[in-house]
Amino acid sequence: MLLYHHTVSAPSRFVRLLLAEYGETPQLVEEMPWARRPEFMQINPAGSVPVLMSEAETGIVGAYAISEYLDETRGPIMRERRLMPGSPLERAEVRRLVDWFLSKAESDATRPIARERVFKLQMTAAEGGGAPDSAVLRAARGNVRQHMRYLGWLAHSRNLLAGDRLTLADLAAGAMVSVLDYLGEIDWGSEPAARDWYQRLKSRPSFRPLLEDRVRRVPPPSHYSDLDF
């Protein structure tokens, strides 16, 4: 399989984690969505990432569709390690949290910060590149604190975010947090439960490729790759 992604796209990172947990090693192609490359637009007219090219060479567009496809095609053989629980109510809670971290938190915080601090460095002036907008960053950083409080509450209330076992919810939140942590946007001292949860998550083998990611001209803080912070 082949995955079109961007290094600091939380939905892309979510799919990378999911593929790794299911034992898949796709070929990665980094795509700059704002460039609207004609060959990529033929696969996904929306121009967004992630897009997974399946074994049948069919493009599966978006984190939600990809996660459902992988759960349906890989999940049953994973048995107790399946990343979606068995009961409808438990599955509904997982889907709610995936939507929270990859839609609400993504629009409130992760994407605006990634755009201002990373994407604009990679864009031309015609594409919207340039200096970061301090007002956008200020609002997004306030939202980061709110989302981290909610993540801390979940981590304190449950063994893992959607219950007692690892699910897509943990991977979605981990993808969001990994982007913000790479950019040094998280105050880990204020949310010890979230920190303990993330420390467990980033110790998983599936997380190693993300911890090795580097963005040109934007180095991560020293603790980013440290499994013990």
CATH architecture, domain 88-205: Up-down Bundle (1.20)
Place of tokens 């989302």: 147
Written as six digits, the tokens of 210 are: 């993300």
Structural domain boundaries of the chain?
A: 2-81, 88-205
The answer to whether domain 2-81 has CATH 1.10.1200.10 is: no
Per-residue model confidence as pLDDT tens for the chain (229 residues): 999 999 999 999 999 999 999 999 999 999 999 999 999 999 999 999 999 998 888 999 999 999 999 999 999 999 889 999 999 999 999 999 999 999 999 999 999 999 999 999 999 999 999 999 999 999 999 999 999 999 999 999 999 999 999 999 999 999 999 999 999 999 999 999 999 999 999 999 999 999 999 999 999 999 999 998 8
Q: Which residue has the tokens 């105050």?
A: 187
> Hey, which residues does 51 pair with through a beta bridge?
4, 61
- Is 138 in contact with 165 (CB distance < 8 Å)? no
Predicted TM-score of the model (pTM): 0.97
**Beta strands at 2-5 and 27-30: parallel, antiparallel or unpaired:** parallel
Nearest of 190, 166, 183 to residue 132 by alpha carbon: 183
